Amino acid sequence: MNMTTTLSTTVVLNADQIRKTQEAIDAYIHSIKTSPNHRAGAVPYYRFHDAGQPIRGTVLLFHGLSASPHQMWRLADYLFSK
């Protein structure tokens, strides 16, 4: 069975859209880090392409309960570069 999907639509974000999104994510990360229930290293990891560069989608990775986002960085970087 072939499960390949081809996306023909691209999105081009400008610098302001990327900046606003990063600010929102960073505010969320700050709220996690200041929580008394925070587990060291358990914060989101994200990457953005440069403004004006066409992108074809978003990848969201989930890890197991005993894992952390940091453990996914190699896979995230690999997927980001493709």
How many structural domains comprise the chain?
Answer: 1
Whole domain around residue 73: which residue ranges? 11-81
Which amino acid is residue 78, in one-letter code?
Y
Q: What is the pLDDT of residue 31?
A: 92
Residue 3 domain flag = no
Residue 63 domain flag = yes
Residue 4 domain flag = no
Q: What is the pLDDT of residue 72?
A: 81
Write down the pTM of the prediction.
0.72
Residue 44 domain flag = yes
Residue 2 domain flag = no
Q: What is the pLDDT of residue 4?
A: 64
Residue 46 domain flag = yes
Contact 41, 10 (CB under 8 A): no
- Tens of pLDDT along the chain (82 residues)? 566 666 568 899 999 999 999 999 999 999 988 999 888 777 888 899 999 999 888 888 887 777 777 778 888 889 888 8
Residue 40 domain flag = yes
Q: What is the pLDDT of residue 75?
A: 87
Residue 1 domain flag = no
